Structure 1
């Protein structure tokens, strides 16, 4: 049975599905789809902790689905801009688990991850997949993964 690791960039998924479709991503439906391909060995969801009650309920849903939720504090800079980026954390986790799985699945449209997918394919000979909103996913990411799954209506909450 194929061993799978899933890495969800929660902020990216939230904003891209909301912008493109006005809906939220359906993590439960995604889990069922991936589980049909093999055994999910690792599943991480990376989110920003704003201490918001509704957000905490959503994080509990992610845990219930099967994700290990990793939180980073929301940082408001003095100039009014915000920081809440998980790119380095996701990259470290992908590199750590890649030797022990057959497939790496990223849920993001962020092109910064293209070099990571190229690296794990070359070094660990894993299949790499990405789920993203087609018009908001970087071409570099689509080109770097073995399989790109466009997020469309069947993976959205009604």
Structure 2
């Protein structure tokens, strides 16, 4: 009887060892599966990463080629600009009317837009002259705008916006920048009539694309960085001013 019990115990122990082995095998198999899954995932990520790297490098290469093309175009434009006669230089004039209007106030004067055009163009070829006007609802600017149009300016108008706190906002910085970039490949000279320092990045960009940039403004009211950034700064002086009279038109 004792031998039988001993045999049962031995069988149970054997079964337990077998089950333990089976558990170990299952754990090992599970670990192997996990490792295989990890390997496959890493492999897929590596392939995906390689694809992404290729795409990134291809994009960077395309960007570099675009930069090189722009630089080559800018060099060609610069070379062309120095070679062509002054009478063939294409000029675009962009006037920040509000900026100049307020800068002229301390002189009890206003800008002579006809003389401004003559000075800006000289012997060169005018492509476009645009005056950017901010309209106030309580000021009649119809005569002023008609005068600009008669003197060959295209007039772009924007309404002065009243804020809820009672202050007002109206500027053409973004609109002027968009127009200048729209015309940049059709111009050899960009004339910016403004003293606003916010135009410095635009001036730097335009110069890299080829055109010469001339800034016309009141020196006292012009950002130093803008003067330094421009190829040339032309100060507005007495010869470009009209003294205000009681009937003088308002610009804003």
For the residues of structure 2 that align with 1:41 and 1:116, how far apart are their CA atoms?
20
User: Aligned to 1:12, which of 78, 82, 99?
Assistant: 99
Normalising by structure 1, we get a TM-score of 0.94
Is this contact kept in 1: 2:120–2:191, CA < 8 A? Answer: no
Is this contact kept in 1: 2:195–2:221, CA < 8 A? Answer: yes
Q: CA deviation at 1:54?
A: 4.0
Larger relative helix fraction? 2
For the residues of structure 1 that align with 2:90 and 2:138, how far apart are their CA atoms?
34
Q: CA deviation at 1:51?
A: 4.2
For the residues of structure 2 that align with 1:11 and 1:33, how far apart are their CA atoms?
20
For the residues of structure 2 that align with 1:107 and 1:34, how far apart are their CA atoms?
9
Secondary structure at the aligned position of 1:32 is classed as helix
User: Aligned to 1:56, which of 99, 118, 142?
Assistant: 142
- In angstroms, what is the RMSD of aligned CA positions? 1.2
Residue deviations 1:108-152 (CA, integer Å, cap 9, x gap): 000000110110101x21100011101110001101110100001
1:83 maps to: 169
Larger relative strand fraction? 1
1:118-133 → structure 2 map (5 Å cutoff): 118-122=204-208, 124-133=209-218
Q: Which has the higher contact order (CA 8 A, sep 6+)?
A: 1
For the residues of structure 2 that align with 1:107 and 1:35, how far apart are their CA atoms?
13
Q: CA deviation at 1:34?
A: 2.2
Gaps of 5+ in 1: none
2:227 maps to: 142
1:106 maps to: 192
User: Aligned to 2:112, which of 26, 29, 34?
Assistant: 26
Q: CA deviation at 1:50?
A: 2.2
Gaps of 5+ in 2: 1-87, 244-252
Q: CA deviation at 1:22?
A: 1.8
Secondary structure at the aligned position of 2:109 is classed as coil
Q: Which has the larger radius of gyration?
A: 2
